[in-house]
Amino acid sequence: MEEHASPIAERGTLGLSEEARQEAQHRYPVIAPLAAQELVSALDARGAAALLGMSTRSVYTLVARFRASGGLMSSLAPGKPSGGRGRSRMPERVDDIVTAAIYDTYLTRQKRRIVRLVEEVQLRCKKAGLLAPSAKTIRRRLETIRAEEVALRRDGPRSIAARRLTSAAGHGPVPRGPLDIVQIDHTPVDIILVDEITRLPVGRPWLTVAIDVYSRCIAGFLVSFEAPSATSVGLCLAHTGVDKSSYLDGLGLDTEWPIAGVPRLLHLDNAAEFHGEALARGCQQHGIDLEYRPKGQPHFGGVIERLIGTLMGLVHDLPGTTFSNPAERGTYDSDATAVLTLSELEHWLALAISGRYHHEVHEGIMEPPLSRWKRGIAEHEDPRPVANSREYLVDFLPVVRRTIQRDGFTLDHITYYSDVLRPWIANRNRCRSFLIRRDPRDLSQIFVLEPGGRSYVTVPCRRLERPRISLFEHRQAIRTIRAGGRAQVDEEVIFRTVEQQRGLVKAAAKKSRAARRQLARQTPVRESSVDRVAVMPAIETEVAGDDQAADLVPFPMERW
């Protein structure tokens, strides 16, 4: 089973025979862990060679090919039969010398010329008493090595050539089973949506999506008009963790989407929304490790980037698509053809994911994602379940700290009170500041971590008759009030201003696209995907005790 380098990964699954596909699957559990190591030791290479029945040189070749392909299983498929086109006709000992010389002499940062490689091969063959191949043969042998590997070894991973040639999936960590590694990212969706009421164009929404790297199944998503934020990440994680049967039933979909549970590792980019206290504390609470892409190496995390490209390709078939760029769009009028609302796009995405994407053969793993998930569940331990979906969401909501006052807690000029606060108010001189979470989509309540640190208490707005407003509306009201010359801002004025603004926006919605988008953003009563998954239970959650919490290193305050 001697293996030579060949651009097999470029052929994808369609170009592989059943025998080649099975051989690639056989090699994957041996080669993938080696590829995850920074340096493959000779001992590990010999062990892998014994398991696979090949030489250590072939093991190194497979590892390099697997890395260069971005972790595609298809890169491990056997090449064409010996002696055929694209395969070496050199005797094995000569081929070994040529391969070693290529890696020792040519594929180094010294960037030696090919003529120097030819000289080195001739010298080594002479010492071994072997007939050296011609320069043309050596060049052909060199051409069988993937351009990605050549660029990485000669120019380094941060070079322009390496970034351009390296597969988008990069060289990230290799998952051990379902939900072992989950990647999350955001993208504007390539489509213009319309208002729920007026059916007039509103603009492009944002998509936050999570993918299970092991199975390539989509673990959860959020579609919203809000730009990416800590809340977007939290809501996407909440959707990732919970059973989606109720969600699909609520949409009227008779499909299967069994992906649910707590991921072991979250793989993220370096955007600000991935570095806040809410995400860090939520992950600490649920035992989730965080790993960020190395700076200057954007090809890391490419599994999620490929997924986004796949989803946008599906979106390009919808009316109102903007396509990927103006050149591709041409004269197509996205606004004039737009027909879908935000909720309708969410419905369409849920169907596209659970009814189509999960069932189509994925080139990276050479089988449907759902089949890979089910096989992984059968062969590995089940992912940790989420015991309480609403509690799980709260643990990822943005965090603030406030001291308790005689009338409860005041956040941004809004006072929150409940009788449950009475014992804390009575002892407020001995209480330190409280950790508070709130959902920026709905400021009608907050979640307060009790002093013992064992549970969250839901505390409503003191004036229960207040309407639900979003943080977006609240900030708009504050700006309007201060622009009107008022130095002092109180709760009554804020809510009155919000009501007035809602009326103005609704009146302007038929005239202004900006107003319609503002209306879509500020309306807090629209039921989200997470809201449909879970009914609000009593929020009880195990967290660090008060003494332990005091020892935690504080995070910088984050903006919502």
CATH code for the domain of 297: 3.30.420.10
Same domain for 235 and 253, yes or no, is: yes
How many domains does the chain contain in total?
3
Residue 309 lies in a domain: yes
> Do residue 357 and residue 430 come from a single domain?
no
Question: Residues 59-75: pLDDT tens digits?
Answer: 887 887 777 665 677 77
- Domain of residue 477: give its range: 393-551
546 falls within a domain: yes
Asked if 325 and 451 sit in the same domain, the reply is: no
| 401 in the same domain as 291 | no
Give me the pLDDT at residue 146, please: 61
Q: What was the pLDDT predicted at 235?
A: 86
**pLDDT, tens digit (0-9, with 9 covering 90-100), for 334-366:** 888 888 888 899 999 999 999 999 999 888 888
Main-chain phi, psi angles of 467, to 5 degrees: -75, 160
Beta strands 409-411 and 414-416: pairing type?
Answer: antiparallel
Q: What is the pLDDT of residues 181-197, one digit of tens each?
A: 999 999 999 999 887 76
Percent of the chain clearing pLDDT 90 (strictly above): 19
- Segment 243-291, tens digit of pLDDT: 999 999 999 999 999 999 999 999 888 777 777 777 888 888 888 888 8
Domain boundary among 165, 196, 224: 165
323-344 as b/e: b if 16+ CB within 10 A: beeeeeeeeeebeeebebbbbe
Among 110, 133, 165, the domain boundary falls at 165
Q: Which of 387, 404, 435 is the last residue of a domain?
A: 387
Same domain, 398 and 296: no
486 and 367 share one domain? no
**Is residue 176 in a domain?**
no
Share of the chain above pLDDT 70, in %: 72
Shared-domain flag, residues 303 and 441? no
For residue 1, what pLDDT is reported? 43
458 part of a folded domain: yes
Predicted TM-score (pTM) of the model is: 0.58
* 28 and 111 together in one domain: yes
Q: Is 8's pLDDT higher than 50?
A: no
Of 57, 4, 56, 48, which Cα lies nearest the Cα of 26?
48
Residue 490: predicted pLDDT: 65
On whether both 205 and 139 belong to a single domain, the answer is no
Q: Is residue 175 part of a domain?
A: no
Residues 286 and 426 in one domain: no
Which pLDDT score, from 0 to 100, does residue 554 have?
38
Q: Kindly report the backbone phi and psi dihedral angles of residue 421, in degrees, each rounded to the nearest multiple of 5, phi listed first.
A: -80, -10
Alpha-carbon distance of 509 to 198, in angstroms, equals 8
Residue 213 maps to a domain: yes
Q: What is the mean pLDDT of residues 316-326?
A: 80
Q: Is residue 474 part of a domain?
A: yes
Residue 173 lies in a domain: no
pLDDT over 50 (residue 549): no
Helix or strand holding residue 2 (H, E): none
377 with 399, same domain: the answer is: no
Q: Do 370 and 403 belong to one domain?
A: no
